[in-house]
Amino acid sequence: MPIRSLSGPFAIWRKLRNRTVGDLMMVSVLGGLRDTGILDRFPGIAAYVARGEAPPAHRKAMADHLAVFEQTAPA
């Protein structure tokens, strides 16, 4: 399915030009290492994660994703 035909929650991918689903998945996983110091030893990977997290569309998608967990977290 062409990205230009995606709608609904998948429409966000249209705004992430030159990114693949693989990039989104890798940045999502590697971003979890952000505050551990591990990425400090790999500046190329740290830069890749920073580039992947920089677009506003990515930040919005992650905020929407995390909001689901915040809404269902026990009080």
The full DSSP string for 8-50 is GGGGGGGGSTT--HHHHHHHHHHGGGTTTSTGGG-HHHHHHHH
pTM of the complete model:
0.64
pLDDT at 42: 92
Q: What is the pLDDT of residues 15-64, one digit of tens each?
A: 666 677 788 888 889 989 989 999 999 999 999 899 888 888 788 888 88
